[in-house]
Chain A
Amino acid sequence: MSALTHVSAGAGETPPPVPQPARRGRGWVPYLLLLPGALWLLVFFVVPLIQLFTVSLQSQFPGYPGYYYRDLNFGNYVTAITEFAPQFGRSFVFAGLATFFAFCLAYPLAYAMAFKAGRWRNVMLIAVIAPFFTSFILRTVAWRQILADEGPVASTLNTLHLLPGGRITETWVAVVAGLTYNFLPFMVLPIYASLERADPKVIEAGGDLYANGFTTFRTVTLPISMPGVLAGTLLTFIPAAGDYVNAELLGSDNTKMIGNVIESQFFRVLGGFPTAAALSFTLMALILALVFVYVRRFGTEELL
């Protein structure tokens, strides 16, 4: 994560961390510094999550839709997950595809920035972040226009008879394309940060020893950038799996993801709170499990 924030903080070259002296004595100072922020996170992150969990176990008053009582109704989870299994599956498949495509696009870009850009490096870095400055909803709507039936992409493909269904919007292709687009910079920046830290001489040495460009890439460059790839994968996959804006604006009823279900259960289905809470909690549990497997496997320092 530091990769992303480093870059967006405008630090072109990341200085290496310096070992910090530990301060001893005056044991209350750190707690005083910690207190306000930790308290805020406690009240607005931890407590709401506990509340979400209790809501996910609530039952409805029979005959009073929209009124709930405290309960330990684990059945909510069973009904929610079985009823919305397709949307759950879609979320993970779409997010997985988007992460894969984002990687394919991000790697050459990050590689070019780190090794080929020379004095254009900072310009390219700003160019990667700059699209963020336009509201992401406006950009997603722009994709709707670009991919629309009468738009340039669909009409070109149609004249070439390359589009079997005749359209791109309201298909899963549009949703995955939107997700890939929206979270691409989150993939580029960490990969760039890890490549930038690498010593170009190591890669040159690889070239000297193997002579073959592809082998050098596979055995030297890719392993060096692995921490960035892993951080980028998480930073792309997590928001993509929970997103509902792309599916709403670019997709159809057949491409709804779990985020769409959670949103509509909360706002448009009377008595949907327990189901929505159960779905949210399941999503969070699945993603946190994924993150912890990652962190366990590859260490925390690169991610934090």
Chain B
Amino acid sequence: MIRWLGNRFAMITALLVLFYLFLPVAYTFVFSFNNYKKSNITWNPEGSPTLKHWKDPCGAPGVCESLVVSLQVGVIATLAATVLGTLLAFAMVRHRFRGRGTSNILVFVPMATPEIVLGASLLTIFVQGFSNIGLQLGFWTIVMAHIMFAISFVVVTVKARLQSLDPRLEEAAQDLYAGPGSTFWKITFPLVLPGIVGAALLAFSLSFDDFIITNFVSGNETTFPKFVYISYLRGIPAQANVIGFSMFVIALALVIGGQLVGNARKK
């Protein structure tokens, strides 16, 4: 018996830890069915579970507006950060040049800086510097901040993919008289593409879930996480649970779908 437990100790602990990780997600899900009266913090057995919040996900004032802002910020910031970060990664892996060490540090340090410091420094520059040229806190300052912190994560992801590429594939293409342009577009780019897609998904999820930096640079604009945080004191509407859990399901489906496609390609 003790032996049996000893062999499975790691696996049992692992399952308990996974349970711990999922517990709050389950709570979010369950409380989306709560027929609460004043605040959605305790379960009201009368009339619960109810589907009314799922039928009317925009029913709470402001919730869908904030979701739209988050999605727009996420898409713009992801596109920009993916392009800028991919270019940086190519430069840093494929070229030896002066200032390579400095660029490495420039990419690494934002990831090692606490979000609150990034938010605080951006707030000071936006309020005391860039506002002089007409830039007010709001949608675009959020986008600029999100591009900034997402770039480093894109660089690291694309870099890892580039570093694991076999250079002989490109050499082979050139031996077969492919020019530099067609070598890049026919060989290099398709091979790096999964890394770029992964980086873009990572950038989007970082942007979509960011609260601390957004809170500093958003002014009166409200993203989804900020909406949840602000409405905490008054009570978070169950519609936020509906949207939060739906995002969870969509993202999970994307990841699992991606895995299945990847596995199918390998075979």
Contact = CB atoms under 8 A, between A and B. Distances in A.
Interface of A: 1-2, 5-6, 8-12, 14-24, 27, 29-31, 33-34, 36-38, 40-42, 44-49, 51-52, 55, 105-106, 108-109, 111-113, 115-117, 122, 124, 126-146, 148, 150, 181, 184-185, 213, 234, 238-239, 241-245, 249, 259, 262-263, 266, 273, 276-277, 280-281, 283-284, 287-288, 291, 303-304
A269 to B, nearest CB: 14
B33 interface: no
Contacts of A234: 112
27 contacts: A8-B201, A12-B262, A18-B167, A19-B167, A20-B162, A33-B91, A34-B92, A37-B87, A46-B106, A48-B121, A48-B124, A51-B121, A117-B14, A128-B18, A130-B22, A130-B255, A131-B22, A131-B25, A133-B251, A135-B224, A135-B247, A138-B228, A143-B24, A146-B23, A238-B113, A244-B212, A287-B113
Contacts of B75: none
A29 B91 CA distance: 8
Contacts of B59: none
Dominant secondary structure of chain B at its interface with chain A: helix
Contacts of A143: 24
A236 to B, nearest CB: 12
A113 B112 CA distance: 27
Interface string B109-122: 11111111110111
B252 A283 contact: no
A108 B259 CA distance: 25
Give the interface size bracket for B toward A: 35 or more
Contact of A291 (B85, B112, B251): B112
Interface string B209-222: 10110011000000
Contact of A134 (B107, B145, B247): B247
Given A126-B256, A133-B247, A238 B112 contact: yes
B51 interface: no
Which has the most chain B C-beta neighbours within 10 Å: A42, A44, A138? Answer: A138
Contact of B111 (A1, A106, A127): A1
Contacts, number: 319
A30 B107 CA distance: 15
Given A9-B194, A18-B164, A249-B232, A130 B252 contact: yes
Given A5-B156, A146-B23, A287-B113, A132 B124 contact: no
B160 interface: yes
B57 interface: no
Given A8-B202, A29-B95, A138-B236, 11 more contacts: A1-B108, A5-B198, A34-B88, A34-B92, A52-B120, A126-B256, A143-B24, A144-B41, A238-B112, A276-B120, A283-B117
Contact of B90 (A5, A33, A44, A109): A33
B225 A137 contact: yes
A140 B144 CA distance: 27
Given A105-B17, A128-B21, A277-B124, A41 B163 contact: no
